[in-house]
A and B are shown apart, each in its own frame.
Chain A
Amino acid sequence: SQKIEQNSEALNIQEGKTATLTCNYTNYSPAYLQWYRQDPGRGPVFLLLIRENEKEKRKERLKVTFDTTLKQSLFHITASQPADSATYLCALPSGYSSASKIIFGSGTRLSIRP
């Protein structure tokens, strides 16, 4: 079955640098992949969706790439700020059919130091 691997170790970045988070999946490439942000004690908030035919998607300081050969998505935050500190989750369908369930990775905690 499809599994998602996100770096469970926290990522510590200096303010102003680019933070890069990784989401790897184990089996077939999904039709799309989503990224969410979660702050402590709150529900996840949707950030970006990238489809299998898209190599890259941008939204303000955020950029997501999707490499079906490597079975990987990268999530970049440029000019990072302390307010970007949070846990970032990736999510994708567990199968290729339109009826597939959505599964989430365990998330990577990002900490931006001033």
Chain B
Amino acid sequence: NAGVTQTPKFQVLKTGQSMTLQCAQDMNHEYMSWYRQDPGMGLRLIHYSVGAGITDQGEVPNGYNVSRSTTEDFPLRLLSAAPSQTSVYFCASSYSRSNEQYFGPGTRLTVT
């Protein structure tokens, strides 16, 4: 079991560029989510999905898009990167919303 994998580990973008952060899990979990973590702010929920084809917004969804075409994959798209999106991004999955979440290793994104 690889658990939750995220790519890339590090990324530097220029303002206005777009990119996709990849997330995959091999535990057949229905619930997947994306968080960003900034110093002193804790983890903030960006988007989440309760199953293939179903996504919803979290606390800070602006500037990000998601889709869930398969149970395994949950990519996060930055449409037009801004310096305010400089952060560490974590993907997580769980059997259901109320179960323990398994986190990926994170992607450290810098937008200049």
Contacts and interface: CB of A to CB of B under 8 A. Distances in A.
B101 interface: yes
A28 interface: no
Interface string A91-114: 101000011111111110000000
Interface in A16-61: 31-32, 34, 36, 41-46, 49
Contacts of B41: 106
A98 B43 contact: no
A93 B42 contact: no
Rank and list the top 5 A-B pairs by shortest CB-CB distance, nearest first: A43-B103, A106-B42, A46-B100, A104-B43, A104-B42
B92 interface: yes
Interface string B34-74: 01000011111100100000000011000000000000000
Interface residues of A, number: 27
Nearest to A49: B100
Given A43-B90, A44-B90, A101 B100 contact: no
A8 interface: yes
A64 interface: no
Contact of B98 (A31, A41, A43): A31
B42 A102 contact: no
B44 to A, nearest CB: 8
Contact of B43 (A42, A89, A99): A89
Contacts of A45: 103
B20 to A, nearest CB: 19
B40 A42 contact: no
Nearest to B104: A43
B106 interface: yes
Contacts of B35: 104
B105 A43 contact: yes
Interface string B75-112: 00000000000000010100001101111111000000
Contacts of B92: 43
A45 B4 CA distance: 12
A44 B43 contact: yes
